[in-house]
Amino acid sequence: MERTANQVTLDLVCSLYAEHADALRAAKDAQRAHRRAHPAMKTQLDDVEAEITYLLLRYLRPEKVVEIGSLHGWSTSWLLRALADNGTGRLTTVDLVGNATRTVPPALAKGRWEFRQGDARTLAGDWLSDVDYLFIDADHGARFARWYLSAVFPELDAAVSVHDVFHRATPLPFTEGAEVVRWLEKTQTPYFTAARARAKHAYARLTELRRELGVDAAVHPGRDNPMIYFRIHRSVDAGETAGGPELAPFR
C-alpha cells in the first residue's frame, strides 16, 4: 500500500476501496436512489471516477472544496456525500446554470453547500482562495483550460480532478484535455486515471477489486471514466518540478 508518494496512485486507490467499502456501498445506494428520484437529471460522472473522487475526499478530508461545472448536480451530490460522511468540509459550486439547486438533496446541502451562478472566469469574490480540492467539469475547450492553467493553478495548493480528458487513449487536439495533459507533462506533475481507454491495467484491477468487495453494482451506465486526478503545489509552473509535500490528508 503506497500512501507516501506525491501523487494519487493505483495502490492508494485500491487501499481506499478496501478501507471504505461499506461506506462506499451505502453512498452508491443513496446515489442510485437519488438518480431514480430524478429521472430527467443529466448525470455525467461514471461510477469508477465518481467512486475515486468520493474515496479521495474521504482520505484527504478537505475543508474547502470547489466544483466548477455541476449541470444538474450529479457530481455535486457525490462530493457532498463524501463531505457529509467525513463530518467536515464545505463545497462551493460554480456554474453558468442553476439547475443543481433544484436537484441536490437538501439534507446533503444543508450547512455545507454554497452555489454561485456565473462564469467561473469572471465571477467575483474569493471563492478560489484556500481551496483544498478543486473539481473541474465545465467547458471542455482549450481556451477554458488555458484560463485555469494560467490564472488559477499558479495560486493553488490542492488536489485537483478534471473530467472528460481520456475518452480515448489521448485527448483530441485543441481540447481542454490536450491542454491540461501538456501542462502536467511540462511541469512534471504526475497524474492518475482509471480511464478505460488510457489505463487498461488500472481499470481492470479496480473492476476486479470492486467485484471482490461487493461494491460493483452499477449506479450509472457510463464506462469511460475519463477523469484525471493530481496534486499541485503553489507556484508549480512550466519548467518547475512538482515537489513539496506528499499526498496526505489536509487534516
Ligand X SMILES: C[S@@+](CC[C@H](N)C(=O)[O-])C[C@H]1O[C@@H](n2cnc3c(N)ncnc32)[C@H](O)[C@@H]1O
Site of interaction with ligand X (CB under 6 A): 43-45, 68-71, 74-75, 94-97, 119-121, 137-139
- Shortest approach of ligand X to residue 189 CB, angstroms? 22
Looking at beta carbons only, is 95 or 132 nearer to ligand X?
95
- Shortest approach of ligand X to residue 104 CB, angstroms? 11
- Shortest approach of ligand X to residue 182 CB, angstroms? 20
Who contacts 218 (Cβ-Cβ below 8 Å, separation ≥6)? Answer: 47
> Whole-angstrom Cα distance, residue 143 to residue 176?
7
> Whole-angstrom Cα distance, residue 176 to residue 50?
20
Looking at beta carbons only, is 137 or 179 nearer to ligand X?
137
- Shortest approach of ligand X to residue 229 CB, angstroms? 15
Looking at beta carbons only, is 115 or 236 nearer to ligand X?
115
Looking at beta carbons only, is 69 or 171 nearer to ligand X?
69
Cell 474569493: give the residue: 126
> Whole-angstrom Cα distance, residue 164 to residue 228?
8
Please name every residue paired with 192 in a beta bridge, in sequence order, or none if there are none.
229
The region that residue 244 occupies, defined by phi over 0 for left and psi between -120 and 50 for alpha, beta otherwise, is left
